Structure 1
Amino acid sequence: MRTFVHGAAVWDVARPRRPSRVAGVTMAGFRVRDLDALRMVPHPAVTLLLEFGAGSPVLDSAAGRQQRGSLVAGPGLGSGGALRARGENVECVQVRLSPVIAGAVLGASPADLDGAVVPLGDLWGREAARIRERLSDVSSWQERFALIDALLARRYEEGPPVDPEVAWAWRRVVGSRGLARVDGLAAEVGWSRKRLWSRFRSQLGLPPKRAVRLVRFDHAAHRLVAGDGAARVAADAGYADQSHLHRDVMAFTGATPATVAAEPFLAVDDIAWPGRGTLANEPARK
């Protein structure tokens, strides 16, 4: 376990010693004594938050709605700066699922989430409560990671895969860091544009153009956190100019690039998600 300090924020961060048995799954464990209004920055993965212990994280939406307990959200969690997390004595495991495998693991398409945050119990019923109890009962982070990994592997094996063409198109978007030409994806897989757009949206939870923007934003945001200037990031990440980058960052986070560069939610990635989670661990084509 390592300690992450960012301004007044102090988090204990744990990582699995072994990669998941399911390609497209990454995990990190967090223990935070005082989590104060943390902006949730969108990421191109389905997010699964499994909480346990005495405390409980709370997600506050811009509309005033609160969510507590274990949660699941589709790609782009927190778009527009709509979500902030807080809580005391928070202990949780955050799982990032590639959209390619998320439907099988969750038992529901990411499209069914429709960009919302959903209580895990709504998808898994009583199993969600049993997972919380088992995570509380074990004494180490590595045991928790192993427990979750076994659960996810079982659910993945039992769930239906996405179309190989859809999986290939997603990996093409990710591999290009959001620079792939969307109009060319259908031709590359030999499908009509209408068919690919429909299957991509229904199976992965977002349309191809949104996927390209989200992956490109994620790459640009991490470059900003690393200290690269906005003009250079805009040029390297494929934005038309710095103003274009500014508009995209504002659209995804509700904040300026300078503010996003200081966000602890992104800064902790170097410890919790080396290689930035699912973007470095995409499942191979079946």
Structure 2
Amino acid sequence: MSGWTWADVDVAVPRPGSGLPGVAMAGFRQRVRGDVEIAMVAHPSVTLFLDLSETGGIVREAGGTSRRGSFVAGLLPGRLRTGGQEGSGLQIRLSPAVASVVLGAAAELTGTVATLEEVWGRDAGRLEERLRDAPTWDERFTIATDVLARRLAVPSRVEPEVAQAWRRTQAARGRLRIDGLAEEVGWSRQRLWSRFRAQLGLTPKRAAQLVRFDHAAHLLAAGHPPAAVAGRSGYADQSHLHRQARAITGLTPAALATAPWLAIDTVAWLAAPRT
């Protein structure tokens, strides 16, 4: 929609200290009429989009197909555009380790987009109804947190070494050697590679690339020039950053700097999932 900005959207976030490790949430209410469209920028989380409108207000387009309603976007979901009309929605970002427990098999979601019902079955509809009926965002956040906490009560399929490797990748902003990471967790490179990919859905190298790119994308959105961002993010040069941006998002660094998806991050996502 021409002229649309994030100023046309009300954003709600949970109270500090009320969330779960590896989970971030934000509520959105669009205050303008008509369709909007936003290109999703890949980030190191599995994302749940819960449609709280009565008429399926959230629309997503991936692979040339458009569908309405709540959905789950795995890591690196390809070209994904979201949009819709006047209404509300809850977005939940899960770290890969948490997603593997909450969603059952995060590895199978990597690179894909699925309806929430396909992932959660009838529980998806029940959750949507409870969230729609809740009168405040605080109550919605509490409901969602309780549902996630119950799912997280089951044993995790992610081994401690894999979880540690993910945390180190995040802490290093993707700038680390895989051999050194394997040595740090006490595994061989081959074992780390196979277990990491099986349990989180991508290789350690690809995870590092995604985390590094996420850091670079937010520096671009903060107004830093591409050449400086390339140096601060560990890219060989500006051309290297340009190639990565095009490969991951289809956008140039200049386009990323003004991407609406990133513009809201400083408001909605003050702390990204880490666990």
Q: TM-score, normalised by structure 2?
A: 0.93
How many Å apart are 1:22 and its aligned residue? 2.2
Q: Structure 1 pair 114/273, CA: closer, same or farther in 2 (3 Å)?
A: closer
Give the aligned residue type for 2:209: R
% identical aligned pairs = 51
Within the candidate set 168, 188, 197, 2:164 is matched to 168
**CA RMSD of superposed structures (Å):** 1.5
Aligned to 2:43: 43
Aligned to 1:222: 218
How many Å apart are 1:194 and its aligned residue? 1.7
Distance 1:89 1:234 in 2: 38
Matched-pair contact (CA < 8 Å) for 2:174–2:208: yes
What do residues 181-212 of structure 1 show as CA deviations (whole Å, max 9, x unaligned)?
A: 12221122121222111111111111111101
Give the aligned residue type for 1:206: L
Structure 2 unaligned blocks of 5 or more: none
Aligned to 1:28: 26
Matched, 1:273 2:269: yes
SS in 2 for 1:104: helix
What do residues 244-270 of structure 1 show as CA deviations (whole Å, max 9, x unaligned)?
A: 000111111111111110011101001
What do residues 200-225 of structure 1 show as CA deviations (whole Å, max 9, x unaligned)?
A: 11111111111011000000000001
Distance 2:46 2:110 in 1: 12
SS in 2 for 1:157: coil
Matched-pair contact (CA < 8 Å) for 2:75–2:109: no
| Equivalence map 1:23-102=2 (5 Å) | 23-32=21-30, 33=32, 34-55=34-55, 56-61=57-62, 63-77=63-77, 79=78, 82-102=79-99
Give the aligned residue type for 1:101: V
Within the candidate set 202, 207, 229, 1:206 is matched to 202
Distance 2:12 2:26 in 1: 6
Matched-pair contact (CA < 8 Å) for 2:48–2:92: yes
Give the aligned residue type for 2:238: Q
Structure 1 unaligned blocks of 5 or more: 1-5
Within the candidate set 128, 131, 134, 2:130 is matched to 134
Query: Structure 1 residue runs of 4+, over 6 Å off?
Result: none
Matched-pair contact (CA < 8 Å) for 2:4–2:36: no
Matched-pair contact (CA < 8 Å) for 2:75–2:110: no
Q: TM-score, normalised by structure 1?
A: 0.90
Distance 2:86 2:116 in 1: 21
